[in-house]
Chain A
Amino acid sequence: MILYVIIVIPFTNFGLASNFIQNLSVPDFIMDYINANPYYLAGFWVLVVFLILKVIQFFFVFHFFTLDKPDYPEASAASKKMIRHRYWRTIGIYIVVALILALIFVVLGLLLVLMVTLIEKTTMVQNLIAGSNLKFRSLLLLGAMAAFLSIGGTIVSIINMPLILAGLSACFYHNCQLDQIAISDSPLVLPPEKPFWIRRRQILGLIIVLAALISFKTISLSAIYNADSSAILSQGTLVAGHRGDSTDTPENTAAAKSR
C-alpha cells in the first residue's frame, strides 16, 4: 500500500495524487540511462502501462479501506472485483470529470491572460521583451495578473484531487447499489458535544488559512524575484564553485577546470 500511495499514483499522474506530492518523475540521469538501451526503454514503457492498468483496477481501494475494510489486500481485491465488469465505463466517467475540470481551469486562465492582453493591446509584452520601463498601470495589471495566477494555482492544486475523487466516489456508491454491496451508514465522525466550528467560524477559518497560504506564496515569489538578497539574508554569503569538466577528467583538478 505504501508503494501504491507514494510511488504508483504520483508517477502515473491520474490527477488522484495528493496535493502534497502532485506528481513524481524519474530523474533525468536515470531516464538517460534507460533511453540509452532500447531493451530498458521497452521495459520501462511496459512497466508504465502495467502501473496505469493497476491504478485503474484499484480506483476504489481507498473507499473500501475507509468505509469497509481497513486491510489493503482485502480492499484492493474488492476494488478489482467491483471494476471488473465496468472497466471502460469507469474510465469514461473519470475522463469526463477530469476533462471538464481541465477545461474550466484552462478557460479561466486564458480569460485572465486575454483580459490583460486586450486591455494593454500587447504593448506590455512588447515593453517587457524590449526591456523598457513599464507604465504604472501596466505594472499594476501585471502584478494583479501574477497575484490571480498565484492564488488560482493554489486553489486549483487544492481542489483538483477532491473533485476527481468526488466523481469516483459517485461511481463507487452507484456500483455498490448495482452489486448490492452493503456499506455501513453508521456515522464515521461523531459531532462534538459543543460544536465550535459553526458556519461563520468555518468561513473565517477558511479565509485565515487561505490568507496565510497566499502570503507565504507571495513571500516565496518575492524571494525568487530577488534571490540573491534573500539568500544573503537567510544563509549569509553564498560561496559557490564549479568542479570543472568531471565527465572527461577527475573533478576539482586543474585539468578539469581548464576544459
Chain B
Amino acid sequence: MKDGKIKNNWLLTELQRYRLNLMPLLIFECLYYFVGSLIILPVTKFLFNTLLSALNLNFVDQSNFFQVLKNPIVVAVSIVILLFFAYYILVEYVAIITCYNESRNGRRVYIWPLIRFATKRSLQIALPRN
C-alpha cells in the first residue's frame, strides 16, 4: 500500500529529495544573478555601444540595420558575445541539474566545487559538434 502510494506520488517524492542542496543552489543562483546582471550585461553593453560609436554607427534602426549586420567587425564581436552568453547560460543549467542529481543521490554539494564543475562541463559548448 505504502509502495503504491509512493509510486503514485513520484513527482512529490522526487521534488522532496531536491531539498538537500537547496542552500548551495540558492547561493549559486544569487551569485549568478549578481555577476550576470550587474557585471557581465552592463560591461558587454558598454563595449558594444563603444564599438558602434567607434564605427560611426550611433543608433540601430530599420534604416541602417542591414548596414550594421554587414560590418565584419560588428559581426565578429557579436558572435564572440553570443558565444560567451551561451556559455554563461549553460553554466547555470549544468549547475542546477548537478545540484538536483547530487541531492537525489543523497550527497551534499559545496558551492566552489559546484561552480568549478559547471564551468568546466560547460566548456564542452566550444566543441565543433555543439
Contact = CB atoms under 8 A, between A and B. Distances in A.
Given A1-B130, A6-B82, A66-B94, A189 B110 contact: yes
Given A73-B129, A213-B33, A199 B23 contact: yes
B61 interface: yes
Given A71-B124, A73-B129, A19 B14 contact: no
Nearest to B61: A29
Interface in A1-50: 1-2, 5-6, 18-21, 29-30, 32-33
Grouping DSSP codes into helix (H, G, I), strand (E, B) and loop, the B interface class, with mixed when no group exceeds half, is helix
Contacts of A173: 14, 104
Interface in B31-49: 31-34, 36-38, 40-41
Interface residues of A, number: 58
A212 B34 contact: yes
Which of B30, B34, B130 is packed against the most chain A CB atoms within 10 Å? B30
A240 B128 CA distance: 46
Contacts of A161: 92, 96
Contacts of A62: 90, 93-94, 97
Given A20-B36, A202-B23, A191 B93 contact: no
Interface of A: 1-2, 5-6, 18-21, 29-30, 32-33, 62-63, 65-67, 70-73, 93, 154, 157-159, 161-162, 165-167, 169-171, 173-174, 183, 185, 187-192, 195-197, 199, 202-203, 205-206, 209-210, 212-213, 216, 246
